[in-house]
Chains A and B, each alone.
Chain A
Amino acid sequence: MEMLIKIAHNYYYMVAILLFIIGMHTMLTHSNMIKKVIAMNIMDTSVFLMFVAIGYTYGGQAPIITAPANEVLYVNPLPGSLMLTGIVVAVSITAYALSLVVKIYRYYGTVDYDEICLIRSQE
C-alpha cells in the first residue's frame, strides 16, 4: 500500500518509464524501420520527460533571480538545459537513421526488415 501511494505521488516518473518501455519494445520487435526510428524517439523523449520531471519543484518559479536569494522557490534549471543537448543529439541520430532508411529503400524497395531478409535469402 505504501508503495502504491509513493507511486501515485510520483506518477510522472511512472509515465516516463512506461513510455520508455513502449519505445524500447517497439524498437526491438517491430520490423518496420520507420517505426523503429519513431520508437527510438519515443524512448529518448521519455528520458527527457524523466529529467525535466526531476528538475521540477511544486510551486517553483522560472529560475531567473530577481529577488534576494532564498525568498522564492525556483525550479532546478540544470536538467532542463541538459535535455536541450539531449534533444539535439536525438535529432541528429534520427536524421542519420532516416537517411540510412532512405538508402536501404533505394536498394530493396521496402522499409520492412523481414521483407529485406526474405529478398536476401532468395538471392
Chain B
Amino acid sequence: MGLTNHFPALILAILLSISFLSPILYRWARKLSAPALIFSLFLALVMAVYLMVQVYQVGEFTYYMGGWPPPWGIELKINLLRVYMLLVVLAISLWIMVYALKDLEHELKTEVMGWYYTLYALVVASMAGMTLTNDLFNLFVLMEICAISACAIISIKEDRACLEASFKYLILSAMGTGCFLLGVAMLYMVTGHMNYDLVNEYLPAAIEQYPNNMFAAAALFIVAFGTKAALFPLHVWLPDAHASAPSPSSAMLSGLVIKIYAFALFLMFYQIFPRSLLESIPLNEIVLWLASMGIMFGSVFAMVQVDLKKMLAYSSIGQIGYVFLGIGLDDTIAMTGGFYHLLVHAIMKSLLFMCAGVIIYSTGIRQIKQLGGIGQVLPITMIAFTIGSASMIGIPGTGGLISKWYLALGALEIGRPIFVVIILASSLLNAVYYMPIIVNAFMQQETFDGEVKPVPRQMLIPLLVGTAAIIFFGVFSRPAIALLENAMQLFF
C-alpha cells in the first residue's frame, strides 16, 4: 500500500490544508466549513490510530520528508510514545472542537469564525508535528507556528484583557523560542547535525571537548521549554492568557499546548542528551524542585482567586508540575505516571474549562462567589464539574488518582519520599479550592436567582463524553499504563 506509508506526513498535510481552506469555505460555503474541519481532524485521528497499529506490528520506524534521508532531510520518527502523544493531541482537539462550534457563536464575531478554524487547525498541526519530528530546526519552526497561532486564538476575541494577555504571552514565548534557537546553535556548533539521533551520536565526544558549550545549551533548553510549558518561576504569562481567552481556546491551551513542550523537554533529556550529561549536571534536580514549587504555589495561588477561569488557570500551573515531576524523577514508573497525568489532565482541565464556558454562556457568571445554588439550574454541567474536580483531587475511581499513584510509587522506588509528601499535600490543597465550589453549587439553601439561558445539546454532549472518559481512565487504566510502560523501554 503506497498511501499508508505516507500517513505521518499526510496527517500534517491534511491539517495544514484545512487551515488554509477554512476561511475560503467559510466565505463561499459557510455550512461546510465546520464539518470540513471536524472531518479532517477525524481523518487525522484515524490515520494516527493506524500508525499506532503499525507501531505495534513493526516497532519504531521513520519517515523521510520528501524522500531525503538524514542528515540532509527532515526525519519524522514514529514510536510508541510519540504516537501516544499524537493520539492525545488529535483526540482531545477533536473533542474540544465539537464543543467549540456552539460556544464560539456567542464569544466571537461571526466574520472571524472562519479564521478561528484556521488558527485552530494550525495549533493542532504544529502540535502533531512536534510529536513526530526528529529534527531540531523543524521543532523550532513548529514551536513558532504554535506560539503565533496559540496567541492568536486568544487575541481573536479582541477585548482589552485578551489583547494584553496575548501580547505578554507572545513576548515571553518569543523569549522562549529565542533561547531554544540559541541552544540549537550551541548543539549544531559542536555536532554539525540537527537530527536528534545524529546529535545524540556525536554529543559524547563533543561534551569532553567543549563542556561549557553543553552547559549553556542545557540551561537555554530548560529556560526555553520552562517558559513555554509554564514551569514554576516562568509561569507569569499563563494565568492572564488562559483566563481571558474564549473557553475553547482556554481548554486547548491548558489541556494540550503547555504539555507538548513538556514532552519536547522529555525528548531533549532522554533522546538527545547522553546519560553522561544528565549525570554531570543536576538537570533532573532543577526540574524536580521547580516542578515541586510549581505544584505547591500553583495551588496556593489558585485558592485566592475570585474568577473561576483564573482559578482553573492557576491550577494548570500546579498540574503541569506533575508532568515535570515525572520527567525529573528519572524512573520508569514515575515517568509512566507523568505521561498518564498528561493524558488525564488534558481531559479534566479541558472539561473544567468547558464547564466554565457553559456557565458563562448560560448565566454570564465568572465569579466563584456567585456560583451558589447553580447546581440546581445547570445539573449536568455541575456534575461534570464535580467529576473533573474529583479527578484533580485524586479521588478513587477517577483518572487523577492513577497518575498520582504511579508518580508516588516512582518517587518511593528511587528513595525520595519527600515527593510523595508533596503530591499528598497538593492533593489536599486542590481539595481546598475545588470542594467549596461543588458544595456551594449543590448544597446552597437559597435557590439560584438570575437569568439562565438553556444550554444547547451540542455543548452538553462533549461534557458527558469527558466525564465518561475521566471515569473510564480511572477504572480501566491498565491498557494505557501498559502502553506507556512499553514506550518507556525505548528510553532506558
Interface flags for A79-122 (1: CB within 8 Å of B; 0: not) read 10010011001001100110011011001100000001000000
Most chain B CB neighbours (cut-off 10 Å) among A33, A50, A85, A100: A100
A51-B188, A82-B137, A93-B170 known; A100-B163 Cβ under 8 A: yes
Mark the stretch among B59-67, B141-149, B317-325 that contacts chain A: B141-149
B32 at the A/B interface (Cβ < 8 Å)?
Answer: no
- Give the shortest distance, in Å, between A25 (CB) and chain B (any CB): 11
| Nearest opposing residue in chain A for B192, CB measure | A76
Instruction: Check B174–A103 contact: CB distance below 8 A.
Output: no
Cβ contact within 8 Å between A44 and B178 = yes
The answer to whether B185 and A97 have CB atoms under 8 Å apart is: no
B383 CB within 8 Å of chain A? no
In the complex, whether B160 has a CB less than 8 A from a CB of chain A is yes
A96-B148, A97-B167, A104-B163 given; A85·B182 CB < 8 A: no
B173 nearest in chain A by CB position: A93
**A104 in contact with B167 given A47-B181, A50-B182 (CB within 8 Å):** yes
Q: In this complex, what residue of B is CB-closest to A50?
A: B185
Q: Which of B126-153 contact A (CB under 8 A)?
A: 137, 140-141, 144, 147-148, 151-152
Q: Are A86 and B181 in contact (CB under 8 A)?
A: yes
Give the Cβ gap from A31 to chain B, nearest Cβ, in Å.
12
Judging by beta carbons under 8 Å apart, are A100 and B175 in contact? no
CB of B490 within 8 Å of the partner chain? no
A-B contact count (CB 8 A): 75
Q: Is the CB of A96 within 8 A of B151?
A: yes
Beta-carbon contact of A93 and B148 below 8 Å: yes
B164 close to A96 (CB less than 8 A): no
* Complex interface bits, B39-64 against A, C-beta within 8 A gives 1, otherwise 0: 00000000000000000000000000
- The verdict on B413 contacting chain A, using a C-beta distance below 8 Å, is no
| B155 cross-chain contacts in A, Cβ below 8 A | 100, 103
B148 to chain A, nearest CB (A): 6
- B189 proximal to A (CB < 8 A): yes
The verdict on A28 contacting chain B, using a C-beta distance below 8 Å, is yes
Q: Kindly list chain B residues whose C-beta atoms are within 8 Å of the C-beta of A47.
A: 178, 181-182, 185
The reply to whether B181 and A92 form a contact with Cβ atoms under 8 Å apart is: no
Residues on A with beta carbons closer than 8 Å to the beta carbon of B163: 100, 103-104, 107
Q: Known contacts being A27-B175, A103-B163, is A92 close to B148, with CB within 8 Å?
A: yes
Cβ-defined partner of B152 (8 Å) among A36, A96, A101, A107: A96
**A93 touching B174 in the complex, CB below 8 Å, given contacts A50-B182, A100-B167:** yes
Residues of B near A51 (CB, < 8 A) are 185, 188
| B141 touching A89, Cβ below 8 Å | yes
| Nearest A residue (CB) for B158 | A103
Which residues of chain A have C-beta atoms less than 8 A from B164's C-beta?
104, 116
Is B166 positioned at the interface, with any CB of A under 8 Å from its CB?
Answer: yes
A33 touches B160 (CB 8 A): no
Subset of 5 A-B contacts with CB under 8 Å: A89-B141, A97-B171, A100-B155, A100-B167, A108-B160
Closest 9 CB pairs of A and B: A89-B144, A43-B178, A47-B181, A50-B185, A100-B167, A107-B160, A40-B174, A104-B163, A47-B182
Q: A23-B178, A47-B185 are in contact. List 20 more A-B contacts (CB 8 A).
A: A27-B175, A40-B178, A43-B174, A43-B175, A43-B178, A47-B178, A47-B182, A50-B182, A51-B185, A54-B188, A54-B189, A79-B188, A82-B137, A93-B147, A93-B170, A96-B151, A100-B155, A100-B167, A100-B170, A104-B160
